[in-house]
């Protein structure tokens, strides 16, 4: 039986893998586990519950709310808001628990449940394990201890959440965006209202695409995984830049005035240098993963910024940031964490901070992003091999060593087993695309031979 909780909560096809019964049961289990951990001690517990616009979020939200209230937790329903908004409101309202229903950038049929602890922080792995264990025990028939009478939770709409969150976003910006024209791709998702409103309040002239969610069109040919529409709209409207979110708006990718993509590494580069200049880049350090482009590392070295690299996954970036007290980190995918203002990746905040840097410097985004040159990167997924032996194969170690010598200081090799699929990822970067491709294909053949 596999673990329910992955790196980003519980996720699966709604009404197949993730059912109303499971959503209700996990919510009751979370309430009981947090009560046992002392989170609710001495007061009546409160939870903030939000969702993205997926059709399945409607019944799953009802199940979560029912589960929490039946366990004696008062619920504030904030409706359709981004994941980072639910995290922020959990902290700002002093709630004991936050629950977000979303499957992020996944297609519409999927959905997920993510829990936040007090303060809007991700639940510790140990608490997630206890929630899962408790849920499984009771799913097999053990009855819950349920409150009655005045002990049951009460449910209220908290409509002020939208304005409170947008005001927070605009309030943390170092400068206004007056004079900028920005195109926003809302992915027909959770930021469809929030992001345009925040940019407009900050002074930008806003053009919107994919901001009309109907419950079925989330991430459908739009958003951070499909930038074609944003590129075209930026050029058509003569905009200074465009920003694209994913379904739950914890990510942001950008497009410059010429319609060229600006990925998470480039966004981190721009923000890191701006924060260094302002004296807010704590430890003069930015945290990223081993999948960041080598061009990012070389740019940070050249600009005198320390780069700490972690395993792949925003959770590892966040752990390292908290451990070292750093203020900026993220991933190439556009999951950027500004820890002074957010407890998790926040796509709207990232886009606003990027636009604020353009406005403050008066320099086009292409010029700012040009501080780093993306080296050609070739990624090959090798399937049907024993991924558990990647780190122990002497043959592969020799092949990688030879490739690294061949590439020198302007190239890089990374072999890693996928955490979610039965495959090995071969990633090669080089100054020349053909060289990167040739080395990657050679290493992929070695992986097949050594681990097949």
Q: What is the DSSP annotation of 72-105?
A: T-EEEEEEE--HHHHHHHHHHTT-SEEEEE--TT
Q: What is the pLDDT of residue 452?
A: 79
Q: Say which CATH class 377-451 falls into.
A: alpha beta
How far apart (Å, rounded) are the C-alpha atoms in residues 397 and 391?
8
Only one residue has tokens 């959503």, namely 23
Q: Is 104 annotated as a binding residue?
A: yes
DSSP category for residue 13 = E
Question: What stretch(es) of the chain map to CATH 3.40.120.10?
Answer: 5-159, 163-369
Mean pLDDT estimate for the chain: 95
Answer for the pair 156, 73: CB distance below 8 angstroms, yes or no.
no
Which tokens sit at 108?
């519409």
For 404, the enclosing helix (H) or strand (E) is helix 394-407
Q: What is the pLDDT of residue 21?
A: 96
Q: Say which CATH class 163-369 falls into.
A: alpha beta
Q: Which of 44, 241, 235, 240 is nearest to 147 (CA)?
A: 44
Question: What stretch(es) of the chain map to CATH 3.30.310.50?
Answer: 377-451
Output 162-165 pairs: Cβ under 8 A, ≥24 positions apart: 162/78, 162/79, 162/81, 162/193, 162/194, 162/197, 164/89, 164/92, 165/81, 165/82, 165/85, 165/88, 165/89, 165/194
Fold of 5-159: Alpha-D-Glucose-1,6-Bisphosphate; Chain A, domain 3 (3.40.120)
What mean pLDDT do residues 251-270 have? 97
Which tokens sit at 367?
């010029």
Residues 347-404: tens digit of each pLDDT: 999 999 999 999 999 999 999 999 999 999 899 999 988 888 888 888 899 999 999 9
DSSP category for residue 123 = P
Answer for the pair 365, 354: CB distance below 8 angstroms, yes or no.
yes
pLDDT band at 451 (very low <50, low <70, confident <90, very high): confident
Q: What is the pLDDT of residue 417?
A: 82
Coil, strand or helix at 380:
strand
Answer for the pair 78, 51: CB distance below 8 angstroms, yes or no.
no
For 182, the enclosing helix (H) or strand (E) is strand 181-185
Q: Distances from the Cα of 180 to the Cαs of 104, 208, 237, in angstroms?
A: 28, 14, 12
Q: What is the pLDDT of residue 273?
A: 98
Residues 35-72: tens digit of each pLDDT: 999 889 889 999 999 999 999 999 999 999 999 999 99
Residues 139-156: tens digit of each pLDDT: 888 889 999 999 999 999
**Residue 1 above 60 pLDDT?**
no
104 tagged catalytic = yes
**Residue 439 above 90 pLDDT?**
yes
Q: What is the pLDDT of residue 420?
A: 62
What mean pLDDT do residues 284-307 have? 95
Q: Is 246 annotated as a binding residue?
A: yes
Answer for the pair 34, 72: CB distance below 8 angstroms, yes or no.
no
Write down the catalytic residue from 27, 56, 104, 224: 104
């Amino acid at each position: 039986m596999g673990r329910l909780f992955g790196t980003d909560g519980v996720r699966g096809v709604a009404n197949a893998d993730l059912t109303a019964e499971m959503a209700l049961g996990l919510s009751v289990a979370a309430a009981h586990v947090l009560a046992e951990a002392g989170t609710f001690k001495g007061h009546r517990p409160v939870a903030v519950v939000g969702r993205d616009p997926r059709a399945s979020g409607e019944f799953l939200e009802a199940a979560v709310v029912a589960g929490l209230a039946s366990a004696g937790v008062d619920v504030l329903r904030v409706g359709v808001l981004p994941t980072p908004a639910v995290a922020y409101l959990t902290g700002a309202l002093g709630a004991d628990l936050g629950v977000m229903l979303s499957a992020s950038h996944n297609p519409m049929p999927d959905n997920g449940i993510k829990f936040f602890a007090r303060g809007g922080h991700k639940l510790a792995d140990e608490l997630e394990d206890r929630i899962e264990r408790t849920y499984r025990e009771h799913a097999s028939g053990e009855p819950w201890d349920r409150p009655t009478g005045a002990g049951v939770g009460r449910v209220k709409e908290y409509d002020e959440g939208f304005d409170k969150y947008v005001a927070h976003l605009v309030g943390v910006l170092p400068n206004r965006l007056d004079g900028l024209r920005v195109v926003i791709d809302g992915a027909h998702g959770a930021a469809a209202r929030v992001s345009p409103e925040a940019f407009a309040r900050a002074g930008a002239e806003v053009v919107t695409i994919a901001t009309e969610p109907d419950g079925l069109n989330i991430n459908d040919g739009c958003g951070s995984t499909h930038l074609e529409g944003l590129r075209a709209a930026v050029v058509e409207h003569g905009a200074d830049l465009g920003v694209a979110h994913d379904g739950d708006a914890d990510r942001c990718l950008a497009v410059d005035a010429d319609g060229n993509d600006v990925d998470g590494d480039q966004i981190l580069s721009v923000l890191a240098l701006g924060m260094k200049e302002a004296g807010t880049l704590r430890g003069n350090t930015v945290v990223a993963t081993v999948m960041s482009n080598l061009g990012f590392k070389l740019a940070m070295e050249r600009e005198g910024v320390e780069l700490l690299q972690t395993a792949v996954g925003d959770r590892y970036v966040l752990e390292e940031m908290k451990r070292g007290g750093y203020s900026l980190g993220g991933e190439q995918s556009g999951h950027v964490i500004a820890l002074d203002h957010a407890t998790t990746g926040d796509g709207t905040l990232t886009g606003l901070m990027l636009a604020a840097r353009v406005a403050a410097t008066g320099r086009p985004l292409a010029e700012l992003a040009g501080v780093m040159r993306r080296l050609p990167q070739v990624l090959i997924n090798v399937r049907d091999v024993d991924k558990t032996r990647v780190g122990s194969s002497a043959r592969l170690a020799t092949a990688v060593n030879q490739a690294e010598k061949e590439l020198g200081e302007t190239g890089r090799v990374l072999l890693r087993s996928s955490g979610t699929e039965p495959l090995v990822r071969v990633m090669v970067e080089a100054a020349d695309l053909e060289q990167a491709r040739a080395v990657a294909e050679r290493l992929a053949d070695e992986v097949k031979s050594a681990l097949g």
